[in-house]
Structure 1
């Protein structure tokens, strides 16, 4: 009702642009600039043209701050839609504010279990969350670790937050799936994000003789953990701590045969903005080494950052081809993929 009676559609956007999770929001400025540029003329909806305003706020990597700025956007800025980005520490508090105030929240930043289960499995009324299920990524980890030549002992390094509790759940997380596949699970106490001491966790992994180290670790904590593992003599045969690690492993396997042509299919899917940026850097290096890359992708900012030429398909038909910037200005591409009429 707000949008229907207002000639301007106001969209709130909340992400961690500073703080411990700031790397997740590194590309937000580019993405928002792109959106503003391509909807600057407004959106035509059923014959009425609406101006569109995107109002961004920094959660400062703090869940309480995310809730605060979401409430401000809804009550003071009167946004009609709110979009939380990057990690459950933003998605959950923003979604709760959306539910409280009756404003749609649209998100796609975490497995649905990490958004639904902390609320006791209750359904949302105003939250629309689109993402893969935890089972999808768990299956990838299980298949990868089961096929490796190890002692099948897996140490899980998980943070003390919603993500860590969900991924480490004995009901639907990693532990029951790993045990069902014949892997032994070592799950010490959860670590506090931004800690400077992983001694307790490392000692547990060493004592159990874990050949495999897995988990969910933000970049800053991963750096600290890796340094301390080396200092304390813990050298697992396999360390897979993020989805980005798995993508890197897939690329390494593909490059082992020194191909001249590399085919990539949705490799940026499921990555955070910061992780996608790291992946783009790696792919750009491969391109600069002379490898020809054909990349099918829906994560637009990732492919725009590295592609020399772009082709856009709609229902199997080519609708545009050329330099990326020129393609994104194409009227048919704007109409089909962004709903923007010429």
Structure 2
């Protein structure tokens, strides 16, 4: 073959499409940005020639997220934007993508908040669990510990997280009540919390047996100290949001000890990547070896974001046309390292769901506290790692 013609063809070959990634590298969400940054570093060389991954720091704020999207779209010419984590950051990324007319793929945010919490979105595609899924998972744990009809105290803030948890139609509250449990919600508290004397008193007077929350580790620690001072000893504490991640520091470890939480991804999940066949166990092991840090649940979802992006661009009729990429996202059915994802059969359009199981933070062997799967009924093939312990065990 003529060398000149070969070089001309190589010169004229189209550049691979750019996928922009909004990832927290500074600010309060930086630790949760680590899994996405790791997935980008791991997959960028593997996908060279198929797509180009470019990141921008959200700075853990809505303003920073909007700025990141503008730079990715206007400067880097991103054909799609990926992101995860952040009650304020995720909607800001989605809104900025809507304004730019660029497909957005996101995760780790209860889907009802996306669908019912703002204006309709044309370009946003999302995969996650729902608030009702959290309620069902927690109710499974409550009933496994003490049977049906529990009296549950709600420790919810006065922000979006608490507001959606107590939403009468789409939130955690109606799903838990439908299971026959009595939920007591004294009042929303401002984060960071200074004291919980009123909540503890209300729970004690109502005979609360279980406390459920979406508190930070710091706020949950404040509550647990006040509960001990007043003699409130719930049989169980369930907590989502920040408590789905490993505790930070001695105070964080004390706050999460024997607290039950939702489980959406672990090294024990029976899933493989659609890109390279990597197992969940291999992904977690590589992350710990490379970073020196304990694996986090968002790691599997971060990897799956890139899997789905690569699949959508490969199957789009024209990956340079936003509508074509969006159509491919909406038609995606893919087995990923985060599990099977299907946008063709979600609860509503543009949503694919992630399965949940029940877990508990227990004293570990490799780390001070490790997330142990204690209820696997909703995830086929996931082994149970231990028994559910009383919340005051070993304290």
The answer to whether the superposition gives a TM-score over 0.5 is yes
Matched position secondary structure for 1:80: strand
Answer with 224-233 or 132-141: which moved more: 224-233
Using the alignment, how far apart are the partners of 2:262 and 2:150 within structure 1?
29
Aligned twin of 1:32: 40
The equivalent residue for 1:46 is: none
Per the alignment, residue 127 of structure 1 pairs with 124
Q: Distance in 2 between matches of 1:177 and 1:226?
A: 26
Task: Indicate the residue corresponding to 2:55 in structure 1.
Answer: 55
Aligned to 1:187: 185
> How far apart are residue 243 of structure 1 and its match?
7.6
Q: Answer yes or no: is the 8 Å Cα contact 1:212–1:237 preserved in 2.
A: yes
- Residue 42 (structure 1) aligns with: 49
Tell me if structure 1 keeps the 8 A contact 2:151–2:207.
yes
Change (3 A) 1:179 1:35: same
Q: Secondary structure at the match of 2:192?
A: coil
Say whether the 8 Å CA contact 2:26–2:57 is kept in structure 1. no
1:232-290 per-position Cα deviation (integer Å, ceiling 9, x unaligned): 43321110112897999xxxxxxxxxxxxxxxxxx99635xxxx5xxx6xxxxxxxxxx
Q: Give the SS at the match of 2:17.
A: strand
- The verdict on how the C-alpha distance between 1:181 and 1:302 changes in structure 2, with shifts beyond 3 A counting, is same
Question: Cα 1:161–1:73, aligned 2, differ >3 Å: closer, same or farther?
Answer: farther
Match of 2:281? Answer: 303
Q: Could you list the runs of 5+ residues in structure 1 that have no partner in the other structure?
A: 44-50, 249-266, 281-293, 309-334
| Count of matched residue pairs | 262
* TM-score, scaled to structure 1: 0.64
Take 2:263 and 2:180, find their aligned partners in 1: how far apart are those partners?
A: 29
Structure 1: distance between partners of 2:206 and 2:183: 10
Could you list the per-position Cα deviations for residues 180-203 of structure 1 after superposition, in whole angstroms to 9, with x for gaps in the alignment? 322211112223333333334333
Written as runs of structure 1 = structure 2, the 5 A alignment for 1:216-295 is 216-242=214-240, 270-271=264-265
Contact 1:89/1:162 (<8 A) preserved = no
CA distance in 2, matches of 1:59, 1:104: 21
Find the aligned partners of 1:11 and 1:303 in 2 and give their Cα distance.
26
**Partners in 2 of 1:75 and 1:189 — Cα distance?**
44
Aligned to 1:290: none
For 2:174 and 2:284, how far apart are their aligned partners in 1? 40
1:21 corresponding residue in structure 2? 29
How far, CA to CA, are the matches of 1:159 and 1:176 in structure 2? 18
- Deviation at residue 302 of structure 1 after TM alignment: 4.8
Q: Which residue of 1 aligns with 2:63?
A: 64
Aligned match of 2:258: none
Q: Could you tell me how far apart the structure 2 residues matched to 1:243 and 1:301 are?
A: 25
* TM-fit CA distance, 1:169: 1.0
Distance 1:136 1:338, change over 3 A: same
Of structures 1 and 2, the one with the larger relative CO (CA 8 A, separation 6+) is 2
**Counterpart contact for 1:217–1:242, Cα < 8 Å:** yes
| 3-state secondary structure, aligned to 2:57 | strand
TM value normalised by structure 2: 0.56
Displacement of 1:130 in angstroms is 1.9
Q: CA separation of 1:75/1:234 partners in 2, compared to 1, >3 Å: closer, same or farther?
A: farther
Unaligned runs of 5+ in 2: 1-12, 247-260, 287-306, 315-395
Match of 1:10 among 5, 18, 39: 18
1:65 to partner: Cα distance? 2.8
Of 163, 167, 175, which residue of structure 1 is paired with 2:165?
Answer: 167
1:306/1:132 CA distance change after superposition, 3 Å: closer
RMSD of equivalent CA atoms: 3.7
| Contact 2:134–2:172, Cα closer than 8 Å, also in 1 | no
